[in-house]
């Protein structure tokens, strides 16, 4: 299995009801309704994966559990690499990684609804402390941007990268700070983070 390049883009502050209506209008299929997801991020104690802009993730996706290695060395449409396996157990995957000497560094709660528009994946995502957003993943860049336009999403407003980009875009924080947050859970924005919200453009 080779490390694959993910051709994807995120669009912040998207009204999910409006996007759902557009997806239905275009004949897209909802393959997984909105569901709660949980994930744990792992690294070695010396932080070597973070230093390489990488991490290992165990994610309970509701209908399956995945174990992934992700690397995001640059924030471009081609900048994220991934190897993803389906595993039997969230707990067992964590035990396996800890047996290899890795340690859990962060736990995240999220919600996701998954659609297919032809062969293009559209995810309606909810993460704590940021507005709802959408992610499009396609086989190639031309297909991705065509899907975005059909969904009335502006390619010029797309952002790229892993979860850190959600927070660095909206708050005056760095990637390294976000990576040090041990828990990202639904609820009110913490006071310490609210004070660092970027002013509206």
- Ordered by where they begin, the domains of the chain are 4-194 (2.40.320.10)
Mean of the pLDDT values across residues 191-199? Answer: 96
Task: Kindly indicate the confidence band of residue 28, based on its pLDDT and cuts at 50, 70 and 90.
Answer: very high
For the beta carbon of residue 154, count every other beta carbon within 10 angstroms. Answer: 9
* Per-residue pLDDT at 65: 97
The DSSP code for 182 is S
* Per-residue pLDDT at 141: 95
DSSP letters along 18-76, please? HHHHHHHHTT-EEEEEEEEEEEEEEE-TT-HHHHTTEEEEEEE-SS-EEEEEEEESS-S
pLDDT in tens, 50-85: 988 899 999 999 889 999 999 987 788 888 889 999
């Amino acid at each position: 299995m080779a490390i694959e390049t993910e051709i994807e883009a995120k669009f912040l502050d998207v009204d999910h009801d409006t996007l759902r209506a557009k997806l239905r209008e275009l004949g897209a299929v909802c393959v997984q309704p909105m569901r709660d997801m949980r994930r744990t991020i792992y690294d070695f104690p010396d932080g070597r994966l973070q230093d390489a802009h990488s991490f290992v993730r165990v994610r309970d996706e509701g209908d399956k559990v995945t174990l992934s290695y992700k690397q995001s060395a640059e924030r471009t449409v081609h900048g994220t690499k991934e190897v993803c396996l389906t595993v039997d157990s969230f707990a067992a995957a964590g035990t396996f990684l800890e047996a290899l000497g890795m340690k859990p560094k962060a736990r995240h709660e999220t919600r996701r609804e998954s659609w297919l528009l032809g062969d293009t994946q559209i995810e309606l995502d909810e993460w704590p402390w940021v507005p709802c957003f959408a992610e499009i993943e396609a086989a190639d860049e031309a297909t991705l941007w065509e899907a975005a336009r059909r969904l009335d999403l502006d390619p010029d407003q797309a952002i790229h990268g892993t979860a850190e980009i959600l927070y660095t875009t909206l708050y005056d924080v760095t990637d390294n700070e976000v990576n040090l947050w041990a828990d990202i859970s639904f609820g009110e924005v913490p006071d310490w983070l609210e004070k660092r919200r970027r002013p509206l453009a």
